[in-house]
Amino acid sequence: MKYLVLDDEIIAAEYLAALIREVDEKAEVVTEINPVKSLELAKQQFHVCFVDIQMPGLNGIEFANKIKQLYPKTNFIFVTGYSDHMGEAFRLDASDYIMKPANVEQIRHALENLRYSSQESPVGEEKQRIQISCFGNFDILIDEKPVKFKFDKTKELLAYLVHRKGTRCTSKEVIANLWEEEGHDSYYRMLKKDLQDVLNELGCGKIIYSERGQVGLANLECIECDYFKWIENMVEGRKFYHGEYMAQYSWAEEVNAFINMH
């Protein structure tokens, strides 16, 4: 289970994280004190978000509203010193509303009575939504509809990340492969933004990892891809291959030759 603890007071956030780990020894807990920054963080998807309400810049109710637009079956547990927002919280289908200071029994009760089980979590919900074809021309469908990007080159950027299958790629590496020359940093940043914006709008932004000059594919289990099937089982995957791999991109020729040999 993945947990996000959002509280603008670091001591309160760490205390709550400790309580969660006491209840769930295998918990993967991330703490954050900046609600605006946590919006980007939450695109990784968490099974449960423990959220304070009164925070500067973005309150907990606003935060939950924004995340639910992306992942409707995220569990929210509000931990706050104020009872004023209880009605708003439960209109958001909150799993629980705990008054500070929380204790381990309250946390245990909340986790034993989540509104959505981990099997109903966003990770499970989005499986099979994303279908990627690499054999022949590269293409991506989400909910069986072609994905349209602002720039044609954005699709090639995504293709390269699929080609690298989860490997973290540096900006320099991507630019060298997409343009075979330097001096395209600004254009590359525009492509990354276009890619993330379009996927976020479709509720699939979690498949892209982007941080500190690195970018890569993430949450591969949410992607159905003929190339990934071939990697897992070359004999079975061979039936998807008909002599071409990402045929529109020259940097894919070496892998195409390798697949042909096997």
One domain, residues 230 and 205: yes
Q: Is the model's pLDDT at 38 over the cut of 90? A: no
Determine the length of the chain. 262
One domain, residues 230 and 158: yes
Q: What DSSP string runs through 173-208? A: HHHHHHHSSS--HHHHHHHHHHHHHHHHHTT-GGGE
- Number of separate domains in the chain: 2
Spatial distance between the Cα atoms of 54 and 80, rounded to a whole number of angstroms: 8
- Written as six digits, the tokens of 228 are 């990934």
The CATH number linked to 238 is 1.10.10.10
Where in the sequence is the domain holding 107, given as residue range(s)?
A: 2-124
One domain, residues 106 and 153: no
Residue pLDDT, tens place only, 130-146: 999 999 999 999 988 99
The single-letter code of the amino acid at 121 is S
One domain, residues 179 and 199: yes
Residue pLDDT, tens place only, 183-197: 888 999 999 999 999
* Lowest mean pLDDT across 129-143, 157-171, 222-236: 222-236
The rounded mean pLDDT for the chain is 89
> Greater confidence, 128 or 164?
164
Residue pLDDT, tens place only, 212-227: 788 999 888 889 999 9
Using an 8 Å Cβ cutoff, are 130 and 142 in contact?
A: yes
In three-state secondary structure terms, 230 is helix
One domain, residues 152 and 84: no
Domain closes at, from 124, 156, 179: 124
Q: Is the model's pLDDT at 121 over the cut of 60? A: no
**Whole-prediction pTM:** 0.54
